[in-house]
């Protein structure tokens, strides 16, 4: 009986070895197991996915080939390789994974995040840029109002000698701004609708973190009221339906809330860890007080010496690129001043720094996200001095991240605010 089981296991091996050998010169890769490929390596590694992939790149190079089951996967971990994928060969790599999970998350590809690169995607992106993402100044009063409300709330907590949960406060701020911009509504902070939104936000991020294997539908999006989304003109090569609007609003709600909140929380965490940088930032703001990635390649691609199989998943590890000693001097050090007089910016032209991606698939909400983060962070630093809660020091701040599409801080950032001038 044991021999029969061994034969059953061994017989498929020549077939799978044939499948692997039919590809040409693949990028460097760790040793793989039959059937599951490299899946076991991630299952037995406790690191977050971006750190797990970074550790592999340290051993095998900045262009890495992995196989999860039968799915070929390419990992990019350097600015040079990111430029090759997101600029030189951008047209080859601007597709998106097409599976049951992504179709359900995107109303069968009607959104921007999961829709394939084609005429429909270009029309929808243009529509969103003109009618939503391009109206950054138009939505300025909303941002200023919500940031003002947050400052008042923190002032009250400070007066009552209560700590501030920065993680929760920034999530509440960004979700409220997105609700007012995208849905035309402001939900009461303690109301049932607000509570439901926050629950849906947490659940959706958990689903997105495993979207590749997700097989259920996000039916909850159907109850979102789209009254805040207005459209100019009406000449489209397709019929604009409620599903189109809901798919886009899902992108706006999830991406707009999570990314801004995480960016502010991480910035405050690093500043608290480095008091000198915090003081310098506050002084500069006081002097200028007016300052109130997975893609998919469609075709087989020959990359210099390596062959990239068609329909490979391609991950550009922006976290790893930010720690690449070939792109940055002392990359592990927190040195905001490195950007003073630097030509490198975040707008997708310099591949050493790609928080919004680059190429055809660069984040269309970049300007809106930057406006929210800058306004909120500047006010937090301008109006308050910040301290650790009693019994804690800067050394107690941890920088572990939760797994997911957006890397949130694993433990909430709790700080004590002291209003400047009191």
Reply yes or no on whether the pLDDT at 108 is more than 70: yes
Mean pLDDT of 269-278: 95
pLDDT beyond 60 at 126 = yes
Label residue 308 by pLDDT band (50, 70, 90): confident
For the stretch 204-255, pLDDT in tens is 666 666 553 332 223 333 333 334 434 444 555 667 788 888 888 888 888 8
pTM given for the model: 0.83
The pLDDT of residue 161 is above 50: yes
Are the beta carbons of 315 and 293 closer than 8 angstroms?
yes
Q: What confidence tens digit (pLDDT) does each residue in 315-370 have?
A: 899 999 999 998 999 999 999 999 988 999 999 999 999 999 999 999 999 999 99
CATH number for the region 2-419 comes to 1.10.630.10
- Total residue length of the chain: 422
Identify the residue with better confidence: 163 or 404.
163
Query: How much is the pLDDT for 301?
Result: 59
Please state, in angstroms and rounded to a whole number, the distance separating the CA atoms of residues 150 and 382.
13
Distances (CA, A) of 250 to 93, 95, 182, 221, 263: 24, 20, 10, 7, 20
Domains in the chain: boundaries: 2-419
- Pairing mode, if any, of strands 71-76 and 313-316? parallel
CB-CB contact of 99 with 80 (8 Å): no
* DSSP symbol at 163: -
């Amino acid at each position: 009986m044991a021999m029969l089981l061994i034969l059953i296991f061994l017989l498929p091996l020549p077939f799978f070895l044939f499948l692997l050998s039919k590809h040409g010169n693949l990028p460097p890769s760790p040793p793989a197991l039959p059937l599951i490929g490299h899946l076991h390596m991630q299952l037995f590694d406790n690191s977050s996915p971006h750190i797990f992939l970074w550790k592999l790149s340290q051993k095998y190079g900045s262009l890495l080939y992995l196989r999860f089951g039968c799915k070929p996967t390419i990992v990019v971990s350097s600015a040079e390789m990111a430029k090759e994928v997101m600029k030189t060969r951008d047209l080859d790599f601007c597709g998106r994974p097409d599976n049951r999970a992504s179709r359900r998350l995107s109303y069968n590809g009607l959104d921007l995040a999961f829709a394939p690169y084609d005429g429909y995607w270009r029309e929808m992106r243009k529509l969103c840029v003109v009618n939503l993402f391009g109206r950054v100044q138009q939505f300025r009063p909303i941002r200023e109002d919500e940031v003002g409300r947050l400052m008042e709330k923190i002032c009250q907590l400070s007066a009552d000698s209560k700590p501030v949960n920065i993680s929760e406060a920034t999530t509440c701020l960004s979700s409220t701004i997105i609700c007012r911009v995208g849905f035309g509504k402001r939900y009461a902070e303690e109301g049932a609708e607000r509570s439901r939104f926050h629950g849906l936000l947490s659940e959706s991020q958990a689903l997105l973190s495993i979207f590749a294997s997700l097989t259920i539908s996000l039916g909850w999006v159907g109850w979102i009221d789209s009254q805040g989304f207005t459209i100019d003109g009406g000449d489209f090569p397709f019929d604009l339906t409620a599903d189109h609007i809901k798919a886009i609003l899902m992108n706006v709600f999830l991406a707009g809330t999570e990314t801004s909140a995480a960016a502010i929380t991480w910035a405050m965490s690093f500043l608290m860890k480095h008091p000198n940088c915090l003081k310098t930032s506050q002084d500069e703001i006081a002097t200028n007080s007016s300052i109130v990635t997975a893609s998919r390649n469609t075709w087989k691609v020959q990359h210099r010496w390596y062959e990239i199989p068609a329909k490979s998943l391609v991950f550009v590890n922006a976290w790893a690129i930010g720690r690449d000693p070939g792109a940055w001097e002392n990359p592990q050090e927190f040195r905001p001043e490195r950007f003073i007089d630097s030509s490198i910016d975040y707008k997708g032209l310099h591949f050493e720094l790609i928080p919004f991606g680059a190429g055809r698939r660069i984040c269309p909400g970049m300007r809106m996200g930057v406006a929210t983060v800058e306004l909120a962070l500047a006010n937090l630093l301008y109006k308050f001095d910040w301290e650790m809660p009693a019994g804690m020091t800067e050394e107690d701040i941890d920088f572990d991240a939760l797994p997911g599409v957006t890397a949130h801080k694993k433990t909430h950032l709790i700080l004590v605010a002291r209003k400047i001038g009191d």
